[in-house]
Structure 1
């Protein structure tokens, strides 16, 4: 939910790597950073706390120094996921 406490970005990245994307943390963290930057996306999907870079090209802080949670907009996008409006097919291990 969008109103839950912030979690360390490193923890979120670790969860994603462990469950869905076992190919390194850089791609995952860079994606989280982009979704938290108001100048990169029209609607932010991640509510970030800390240094996520700037429009002037300043780099974001390392994941151990930032915290994230789902944005209110992202929560609204996921609200109807269980209504089965899209047909899903099993993935490679049928989960």
Structure 2
């Protein structure tokens, strides 16, 4: 079996998470509150997000969320790759 590059896999997962976060920001910016609620209610099949959607998110808070999502994704991806590499028989 091949080993996974920890840094590259971490980056891939972090970047993917950041893209999903950016997609969420785009939905909220373009669909409005009702469209956002409809989108996430259908995506989360059975959960009603009406009471937890907050449309007035400050730009700095959104930027912090974007960066934090990338960092968490990178750490999760790096852990997955490292755990995978450790269990490979040499």
Give the structure-2-normalised TM-score. 0.33
Whose helix proportion is higher, 1 or 2? 2
Give the structure-1-normalised TM-score. 0.32
Structure with max Cα Rg? 2
Whose strand proportion is higher, 1 or 2? 1
